[in-house]
Amino acid sequence: MALRNALRSAGVTALALAGTGATLSYHEVSLPTTLNPLFAATMSDYRSQELVFDRLWFHDAVTNELKTRIVEKWELAEGGKAIKVTLKSGLKWHDGKSMSAKDLCFTVRAMLDKGTPSPIAEGYRGVLEGCEVQGGNSALIRFTRVFHNPRERLGFAILPEGAFQSTAITPDLDFSAHPVGSGPFKGSRGRRGVVFDAFANVHHQPGIAQLQLSEGNDPLIQVKTIINNGVQGIIAVPPTLRPDVSASDEVALKSYDLRSWWFIAVNTNKGFLADKRVRQALNLMLDRSKLRELAIGVKPGEQNSPCEFISGPFVQSSAYYNRAIPVVERSDRARSDKLLTDAGLAKQGGSWTWKGQSINLKIGMLAPLNTEAPDLLSLIGNQLGEGGFKRVENKISEDEWNRQILTGQAGDYDLLVGKWSFGLVEDVNDQFHSRGGKNGKVNIFNYANPSVDTVLQEYDRARTDTAAQDAYHRLHATLADDLPYLFLWKLDTKSAWRTGVRNNIIAPYHYFTEIDGWRYDK
Amino acid sequence: MTRWWIRPLVRLVAALLLPVAVPAILTLLIWALPGDPASIICPPETCGGSAGLAERWHLDDGPMGFFRHWAAGALHGDFGRSWRMLQGVEVGELLAEAVPTTLVLLALAGVPVGLGVVGAVTGRLPAKADPLFHVLGLMPSIVLGLAAAALVQLEFGAGAFDGSARWARLVGGALVLAFSDGALAGAVTGTRGLFSAEARQRYVGIAVLRGETVLSNTLPNVAPALVGQLRARVLHLLSGAVIVEALLEINGLGDLLWGGTIWQDFGVVLAAATAFAVLSAALLVVQAVAEVLVALHVRRAPAVGAE
Amino acid sequence: MSGAGRRFSRWPSGLLAAAGFGALLVFAAFAPEFLPDPDPSRAWQGPGEMPPFGADDRGRSLWVYATQGASILAWPALLAGFVVALLAVFGGVVRATGAARLDGWVQGMGEVVGALPRMVVVLVVALIVPADSRSLYPLAVTWALLAAPGAMDEAAAVAERLGGSRFVEALRAHGYSAARIFLLHIVGYNLRPVVVRQAAEVSMQVVFLELALSYLALAGDRPSLTHADSVMSWAGLLSQGYTWLVIDMESGHALALGLGLIALVTGASLAVSHAARAR
Amino acid sequence: MSAPLVVLQDLTIRAPGRLLVEGVEVVVEPGRVTALVGPSGSGKSLTARALMGVLDVAPGLERGSLRYPALDPSKDWYDGVRGGGPRAQARLLEATRALRGAYLSYSPQAASSALNPGRTVGQQVALAVGRRASPPASLGAEVTRLLRAVGLDPRTAAALPGELSGGQCQRAALAIAVAPAPRLVIADEPETGLDPVLRRAVTELLVEVVQSHGAGLLLISHHHDTVSRIAGAVVRLRPPAGAPEEL
């Protein structure tokens, strides 16, 4: 015991020493899987890549207005079906070469190249048609059609032509671990972490010499480490641990709105779940207040809680959210039982059966969600259990989630607990449009509903914000009734940074967009 | 004694077989899994259309073709690049770091085990100490490993992997390997058992009456069994390295294999598993050679006939 | 391990072994199918406030860990032990019958299988078991098969010391039936100690294997390789205890319970071996 | 008249609770055969071993003295060993190691189990030859000579004990015993396990070989015919417990 304490005190000093030097070290829940923007899959990927690359346009972290650091001037051309972009001069890549319009067009061509196996590029293939260099620093980017928000469609990171053999870019190139960008930091991925070294440029003067990213598993230990100044930042602090952080004077919680919302996707193609009434019954069976209280730690009636219930696929602060649709907070067992009985389910020996077969719900959850909402899977399982459903519970690794679930191969799962985070565009077409061609790319259970498809196409065709909002309001209403998802909540995300880290404005989603302004005095 | 060469021969054959069989079986497994190999190796969500990958990785030539290409590359030290675990990094590069690290780990773990063996052979290590080793050996590596990990974390912080932190992890891991799961206990008692059994043979007593020493008589006779035991011990350590390295975040082969497995990065798993197979094969060869040397030593006789 | 033990009676250690494995199976039998809801207000409560073992970081009784962990382990571990025992007996009997060719094959196979680092194979098996039908059984059996060559070797050596086929001939001369010779004299009287010890050791190793794999999965916040996520492994106790080691959370009792359960398994396995050796 | 090779006086060895031998006197003169006879359990082997400085019973040596006058008439090797227990006996074992297999050598009974199974006969003979003060010009030739002398085909040099018959082993053991050219050979029931014909041959060979090397021989035996035929002096042991003596 005494030895343990002696070691611990030694440990604290050791942890403290680890934080010194002209570097800022921070923990992510997991290390980025790649530093190549074309293959970003996790939030950690997006955050890391934001340090290394410049996106053509981005949203200001504070005002949310559309901004750019590398475009000198731009104008729409060909009746809005194209945009002429002139890059600033003197922009340098991390390898010292200078950035030109050729790089911009190379990036576009690479994304359009079918040999680039990138889902992100695939997304742009529906938007971009081509790019041609017009003089040294100007390029004409053509769209597939006229968009009401053309520049918002150009949020991709620029890649250096010189770093690639061809426009067919694959994830296994050395570039994924040791990229060449034009962003404020030169990044290099190691086995245990990523080191970002400041790179002064015409458009970037980072105020921090080096960033060190390492993986921090147990959130509790992460919190203790930052309090001991073992690291200066933690990207994600689970709600349950936020009080510990607030209690320290040397660490501050920093909110960053990921516009991420949680859901339970329902296998609408599977037997009894195909019946809308059963989905509605499940929706009524859940006691969301209890889930939130036990998994997130929000007391009933708590003011400005980090977790707001939602009734559709948007966060309440979004312009697309339909406030007319109420949220379901408490369970209503009587109504849900009636709906189930109407749908032809029968209770035998306390548990539901369908056509004489006993029902055994197979419930899965994206494993990392457990860090943010501990026990959520078993809590949901238990509530359905109390409601009379036998079940099996499985966590699903992020990798497996990407491989099986998002590709519509969820197989015999009945319910899947997951989370979506929006980037620049709050677009849910990929989630709810029936699969086919470019549509419904992440439609988990291959949900297909013609009226939903129609509304989604209306949104796509919308030329004004109000038209787009109107379409999504109707979508919200339809989904809240048809329930391919049981919508849970928006959970705001908080980071913790040492108070010595100043002016650390955090951008939604991409996080480090304003890193140039960050300062750190020890 | 007439066909003393059979056992070494079997070992050599096994040694040749292992490094080929292991990757071959793994390759078959890739095809045995549900879904197409390309999307197993890199999920469409991250790699998009898998047709390109299939071609790049020669997955479209079926298991045989894939294995041929892989093996040909491997022979020239080209194990391809990591698709998932450490995207873009050459697997050969990872091996180049992992293999020496694991060898150092084994060497460090070998010190206490080796001392134990020598102590048992020479009788320096009293049999009274065996129960102590046994109790220590009952500890599973996960428990000792956690203790070691805690010490490292307290001393150097969670994110420290270089310099003295690296060595602390290595030494900690080595001690865990050496003492947990009965590694040392087994080595000591096993060796002691071998020698005491041999020393009880009548010829040893007679040799003493001839003024010879016990060890000079017993050592050559138990050598084959001893080498066998030692090989088993090293293999035991090698296998244990997987857990210990993953637990203490040591950049060795075991950790590489663990990472490859949880990321389903078959390129990495193939390479790491093959590296393990090669190490194990090397042990077999060492044992075979030792057996041959002993056999030749035993057969040694002065050239006679000349007078 | 040797002579000393023989002087003792089989009964004390036999009872100890029975008690150990009995406890394991009882735990398994009492395991709730699912994790109960947490009660954060009771987090880290000690055994006094939440008997019998105290609470975890979420205010859940550690009793759940103990029982559910046992339900993951008990049967696969016993199965692994059984497989090894079976194969060891086979190895011994083959040597005793003096079937040279078969013996040769057995040894050859043993040479190859025995040369595979066990954890490597286990991980590869874990890799191919479909994620949603995870269980300890396939890993336990794999481990048993990999441990078998050693056990078979040892059993064969025992049979050899008996004099191999000559021993059988001798007993035949006494007019014993083949069944009696093999089942009673060879397996029952002579192979028993080795076979039982090997089986007990492998069962114990399977328990440790599960702990290690589950712990690593838990530490990386990944789905377990060995059990459904509606149950908790004993590894949960270790990872709870780990926070006590490094950041002084009040979870010492979790670690104590974890170590206690490990000690239980170890003790039971030792006791079994001893009982099998004792006269 | 040259000094005796070994003089053992009043040898008394105790095991827990009983005497093993008491007051045994043995003198071996050079060039002649001394027989040590007695019923089994009378301590013949024990005496022979004690005479080589090998005492391995506790409490062990109680009384007695051991001299090798031909080496050093004054030195009593048992000084400090009497009543000294295992430790003192271990010291004696070390002190006399150089003598064993050089000044005096030992030819065991049931040689087939007494030879190192992991060494060829040739190697074992060569090792013994290697203990001579002055090594021969050609080791190979000397091994051949010795094997021939005991009536073994020189090719048996390449054989392992396991590949020889009992008689061949006995001859090999004899070759090993005389190989160091010792002053005294102690032969422990060399006839054991041999058929009558072979038994005679071996003992005669023994005497012949030993005397041709000009060494003394202490023959341990319970075969009266052998003893009466070849022994010049006889030492009779009787069990201290007072068991009836043979003869």
| Mode of pairing for the β-strands spanning D216-220 and D33-37 | parallel
Residue A8: list chain B partners with CB under 8 A: 154
Residues D76-99 have pLDDT tens digits of 999 999 988 889 999 999 899 989
- Residue C219 covered by a domain: yes
Residues B2-25 have pLDDT tens digits of 477 888 898 899 899 999 999 998
Residue range B95-118: mean pLDDT, rounded: 95
- Residue C27 covered by a domain: no
| C56–chain A nearest CA distance, Å | 13
pLDDT at D127 over 80: yes
- Residue A106 covered by a domain: yes
Going by pLDDT thresholds of 50, 70 and 90, the confidence category of residue B305 is low
Hey, are the CB atoms on B82 and A172 less than 8 Å from each other?
Answer: yes
Hey, are the CB atoms on A192 and B251 less than 8 Å from each other?
Answer: yes
pLDDT tens for chain C, 279 residues: list them.
Answer: 344 444 456 778 888 889 999 999 999 999 999 999 999 899 999 999 999 999 999 999 999 999 999 999 999 999 999 999 999 999 998 888 888 888 888 888 888 888 888 898 999 888 888 777 789 999 999 999 999 998 998 899 888 888 777 777 888 788 888 878 877 888 888 889 999 999 999 999 999 999 999 999 998 888 889 998 899 999 999 999 988 888 878 889 999 999 999 999 999 999 998 888 765
Higher pLDDT, D190 or A67: A67
pLDDT at A8 over 60: no
Give the list of residues 6+ apart from residue B132 with CB closer than 8 angstroms, or none: none
- Residue C10 covered by a domain: no
Q: How far apart are CA C161 and CA C154, in angstroms?
A: 11
Interface residues from chain A to C (CB-CB < 8 Å): 4-5, 8, 11, 29, 217-218, 220-221, 224, 240, 294, 297, 362, 364-365, 367-368, 370-371, 374-375, 377-379, 381-382, 385, 391-397, 400, 411-413
Report the percentage of chain D scoring pLDDT > 90: 34
Residue B206: list chain D partners with CB under 8 A: 106, 108, 114-115
pLDDT at D106 over 80: yes
| Mean pLDDT value across chain A | 90
One domain, residues A409 and A346: yes
Residue range B29-45: mean pLDDT, rounded: 73
One domain, residues A436 and A475: yes
Residue C220: list chain A partners with CB under 8 A: 217
pLDDT of the residue at C276: 85
Hey, are the CB atoms on B35 and A173 less than 8 Å from each other?
Answer: no
Going by pLDDT thresholds of 50, 70 and 90, the confidence category of residue A234 is very high
Going by pLDDT thresholds of 50, 70 and 90, the confidence category of residue D223 is confident
Answer whether B251 touches A (CB < 8 Å): yes
Answer whether B210 touches D (CB < 8 Å): yes
For residue C162, what are its two tokens?
A: 């008996």
Residue B56: list chain A partners with CB under 8 A: 170, 172
- What pTM did the predictor assign? 0.89
- Residue A224 covered by a domain: no
pLDDT at A278 over 90: yes
pLDDT at D167 over 50: yes
Hey, are the CB atoms on D126 and B206 less than 8 Å from each other?
Answer: no
pLDDT at A7 over 50: no
Q: Report the complex ipTM.
A: 0.86
- The tally of domains found in chain C comes to 1
Q: What is the CATH number of the domain that holds A430?
A: 3.10.105.10
Going by pLDDT thresholds of 50, 70 and 90, the confidence category of residue A103 is very high
Maximum distance among all Cα pairs of chain B, rounded to whole angstroms: 86
One domain, residues A376 and A293: yes
Residue range A304-331: mean pLDDT, rounded: 92
Report the percentage of chain A scoring pLDDT > 70: 96
Judging contact as 3 or more Cβ pairs under 8 Å, the answer for C and D is no
- Residue A397 covered by a domain: yes
Among A104-118, B218-232, C168-182, the range scoring the smallest mean pLDDT is C168-182
- Residue C9 covered by a domain: no
- Residue C216 covered by a domain: yes
Element (DSSP H or E) covering residue A24: strand A23-28
Hey, are the CB atoms on C58 and A375 less than 8 Å from each other?
Answer: yes
One domain, residues A75 and A179: yes
pLDDT of the residue at D122: 93
- Sign of the C-alpha dihedral computed for residues A276, A280, A282 and A288 taken in this order: positive
Residue C229: list chain A partners with CB under 8 A: 365, 377-378, 393-395
- The tally of domains found in chain A comes to 2
One domain, residues A426 and A278: yes
Hey, are the CB atoms on A364 and C132 less than 8 Å from each other?
Answer: yes
Hey, are the CB atoms on A171 and B154 less than 8 Å from each other?
Answer: no
Pairs of CB atoms within 8 A across A/B: 136
Answer whether B40 touches A (CB < 8 Å): yes
Residues A164-214 have pLDDT tens digits of 999 999 888 999 999 999 999 999 999 899 999 999 999 999 999 999 999
Q: What is the CATH number of the domain that holds A82?
A: 3.40.190.10
Of D98, D118, D127, the CB nearest to B220: D118
Hey, are the CB atoms on C208 and B283 less than 8 Å from each other?
Answer: no
Hey, are the CB atoms on A172 and B155 less than 8 Å from each other?
Answer: no
Answer whether A193 touches B (CB < 8 Å): yes
Domain that holds residue C95: 61-165+191-275
pLDDT of the residue at A9: 45
Of A34, A192, A214, the CB nearest to B87: A34
Domain that holds residue A155: 18-215+500-520
Half-sphere exposure in the Cβ direction for D75 (13 Å, CA): 11
pLDDT at A89 over 90: yes
Tell me, letter by letter, the H, E, C secondary structure of chain B.
CCCCCHHHHHHHHHHHHHHHHHHHHHHHHHHHCCCCHHHHHCCHHHHCCHHHHHHHCCHHHHHHHHHHHHHHHHHCCCCCECCCCCCCCEHHHHHHHHHHHHHHHHHHHHHHHHHHHHHHHHCCCCHHHHHHHHHHHCCCHHHHHHHHHHHHHHHHCCCCCCHHHHHHHHHHHHHHHHHHHHHHHHHHHHHHHHHHHHHCCHHHHHHHHCCCCHHHHHHHHHHHHHHHHHHHHHHHHHHHHHHHHHHHCCCCHHHHHHHHHHCCCHHHHHHHHHHHHHHHHHHHHHHHHHHHHHHHHHHCCCCCCCC
Identify the CA nearest to D121 among candidates D85, D90, D154. D154
One domain, residues A386 and A468: yes
Residue A398: list chain B partners with CB under 8 A: none
- Residue A396 covered by a domain: yes
Q: How far apart are CA B58 and CA B70, in angstroms?
A: 9
- Residue A234 covered by a domain: no
Residue range A31-42: mean pLDDT, rounded: 91
- Residue A6 covered by a domain: no
One domain, residues A450 and A510: no
Going by pLDDT thresholds of 50, 70 and 90, the confidence category of residue A6 is very low
- Residue C84 covered by a domain: yes
One domain, residues A451 and A512: no
Hey, are the CB atoms on A397 and C131 less than 8 Å from each other?
Answer: yes
* SS3 (DSSP) at A49: helix
Hey, are the CB atoms on A191 and B42 less than 8 Å from each other?
Answer: no
pLDDT of the residue at A12: 43
Residues A122-159 have pLDDT tens digits of 889 989 999 999 987 999 999 999 988 899 889 999 99
Domain over B6-32+79-299 is classified CATH 1.10.287: no
Chains in touch with D (≥3 Cβ pairs < 8 A): B
Q: What is the CATH number of the domain that holds C104?
A: 1.10.3720.10
One domain, residues A199 and A268: no
- Residue A247 covered by a domain: no
- Residue C53 covered by a domain: no
Q: Select from A4, A241, A363, A394 the residue whose CB has the most chain C CBs within 10 Å, as the one to mutate to test that interface.
A: A394
Q: Select from B4, B206, B296 the residue whose CB has the most chain D CBs within 10 Å, as the one to mutate to test that interface.
A: B206
pLDDT of the residue at A11: 46
pLDDT of the residue at A105: 97
Of B44, B82, B159, the CB nearest to A407: B44
Domain residue ranges in chain B: 6-32+79-299
